[in-house]
Amino acid sequence: MSTGQLFSRTTQALFYNYKQSPVQRMLDFDFLCGREIPSVAGVINPGSEGFQKLFFGQEEIAVPVHGSIASACKHHPTADVFINFASFRSAFASTMDALKQPTIRVVAVIAEGVPEADAKKLIAYARANNKVVLGPATVGGIQAGAFKIGDTAGTLDNIIHCKLYRPGSVGFVSKSGGMSNEMYNVLARVTDGLYEGIAIGGDVYPGSTLSDHVLRFNNIPQIKMIVVLGELGGRDEYSLVEALQQRRVQKPVVAWVSGTCARLFKSEVQFGHAGAKSGGDMESAQAKNKALENAGAIVPTSFEGLEDIIKATYEKLVEKKVIVPVKDYTPPPVPEDLNSAIKSGKVRAPTHIVSTICDDRGEEPSYAGVAMSTIIEKEYGVGDVISLLWFKRSLPHYCTKFIEMCVMLCADHGPCVSGAHNTIVTARAGKDLVSSLVSGLLTIGPRFGGAIDDAARYFKDAYDRGLSPYDFVESMKKKGIRVPGIGHRIKSRDNRDKRVELLQRYARTHFPAVKYMEYAVTVETYTLSKANNLVMNVDGCIGSLFLDLLSSCAMFTQQEIDEIIDIGYLNGLFVLARSIGLIGHTFDQKRLKQPLYRHPWEDVLYAKYA
């Protein structure tokens, strides 16, 4: 392995299996370091294409998303680092795919628990092809002031506190990502800081070893001293011992192997990492520390003494002018995300949408303050849900029952009415459910099903002003307006609409008062004296009865009643109900596999104009 540094200020990476937080942290680190280009060139999400919106400082950027590793490498030939956030189950296949790409030089495998046989295959392929694998079970690595992998070094506050936004003079390598963060803090306190830090990973078979990176650090001129943090278990540290004995490392190496407390336990102890388990005296922390010290490494007597010995080693190098301490500076502030700023109370921002009928925050959604579990446990019906979502209150049972009756009675009126006809024609044209439904709904208006609001509006105005049926009808006639809710193409005095009779009977039995409906009946009596088909239709019946419902239940003010009618609540009831039938007609036509509809010539009047 050896050679020199892995990363630079122009290094770019491909990120596999998109995770927003680590990618954004990389970009925030870029901005903190003053990089000119983002360190994330592209994202790979198998089977997906497009882009992800992220921030590079104050600028919002679109990071390309590719569906395959090969495609990403082709589009970003200068991106030579592959950051693999795949699970341990799929990490092998994606890592091997990346290693086989000629443009990829370094692969970081974040997943813990990759099968050992798979890890060995990855290591063998990487070494045979002169590639570097960090991990498995790694947080990654960082070159201070230049590039970092994923969540390496933690939060921005920690990065600033550890002065990782600019390069220092120390190379650091460890198995543990968590302990790396602790050591970066130590290095910032007692030296001029980190130059490059690597966490090789805590699994039994890491893709690269401690000695691999120490030898590499030895070839980097900017690194003047090296700090190594090992752990009990395995024999990785002995390759470093061998390198020190062979004098292949000319720079001071401060080392400590954690896990000396293992001897206090009577039986073998498994520490946090898979590889942190002593398999014998040679693998104990004490044996490794002794071997490192004998080979020439600077080893403290305990972990508590590590900071002091690092400080002493650094100060000697400064005294010898081997190290010229890096001058510190204040990095630019990284803009805070709006959501976190709002949460912390630093800023306030206006909302874009107001909702008073439903709240989907918390453990379960609620309709007008009524929890979903309550709706189910108390066996609310569709009418109850409509009362909550439309009227923002729980109406009495007779009201919600009336609403349900309206929905059931208006759900369909056969295939010949305009809405159903449109839906049938659209469905037979091979269109989808939504298109077929919408084509039928678009016919609802003043001439078809949309007269409920107008019927309520005109009946209310006439009744409240005390107009007689004669004065009301004749005044409408003078204005050239047909009385909404009166008249039917099929029904007549002798063939009444059964739906109207059912609703009227229910209201007379259960409503406290039906003054508006009775007024509409007197209007009907007058209009029938003019023509046999000027009967009250279902629009007029629902419109007048809804007025009675709203006014007699004592739950609405007069202003609220007027607003309900003006907004179009009552037509909404017809739209909701008829959607059921239109969906049924769509399914019916598709189930019957009906062909494209063509209107017959004999049913068309081809008029010739002079």
Q: Which amino acid is at 97?
A: D
pLDDT of residue 349: 82
d(CA 252, CA 319): 14
Q: SS3 for 280?
A: coil
Q: pLDDT (tens digit, 9 = 90+) per residue, 207-254?
A: 999 999 999 999 999 999 999 999 988 898 999 999 999 999 999 999
Specify the residue for token string 């700090």: 227
What pLDDT, on the 0 to 100 scale, is given for residue 267?
54
- Radius of gyration, alpha carbons of the chain: 39
Coil, helix or strand for 373? helix
The reply to whether 273 belongs to the active site is yes
- Residue 274: its pLDDT value, please? 47
State how far the Cα of 106 lies from the Cα of 112, in Å rounded to an integer: 18
For residue 81, what are its two tokens? 């680092």
Question: Rounded to an integer, what distance in angstroms lies between the CA atom of residue 193 and that of residue 195?
Answer: 7
What integer pLDDT is reported at residue 266 of this predicted model?
52
- Count CB-CB contacts under 10 A for residue 163: 24
Find tokens 């809405």 and name the residue.
419
Calpha distance 368→358 (Å, rounded): 6
CA 453/CA 542 separation, integer angstroms: 9
Q: Quick one: which H or E segment has residue 520?
A: helix 515-528
88: CB partners within 8 A, 6+ apart: 111, 112, 113, 114, 115, 136
Q: What is the predicted pLDDT for the residue at 259? A: 85
CA-to-CA dists, residue 157 to 146, 200, 334, angstroms: 17, 24, 10
Options 66, 76, 213, 273, the catalytic residue:
273
Q: Residue 414 has which token pair?
A: 């056969």
- In this structure, the number of other CB atoms found within 10 A of the CB of residue 161 comes to 15
The answer to whether 119 touches 143, Cβ cutoff 8 Å, is no
Inter-residue contact 199 to 140 (CB < 8 Å)? yes
E strand or H helix that includes residue 367: strand 366-367
Is the distance from CB of 101 to CB of 70 less than 8 angstroms? Answer: yes
CB within 8 Å of 17: residues ≥ 6 apart: 44, 45, 84, 85, 86, 87, 94
Backbone φ and ψ for 524, nearest 5 degrees, come out as: -60, -40
The pLDDT, as a whole number, for residue 278 is 56
Only one residue has tokens 């082709």, namely: 74
Tokens of 2: 């050896």
CA angle, 48 then 51 then 55, to 5°: 140
Mark the ranges of the chain whose per-residue pLDDT is less than 70.
1-2, 261-280, 610
Q: What are residue 172's DSSP bridge partners?
A: 197, 227
| 64 phi and psi angles, rounded to 5 deg | -60, 145
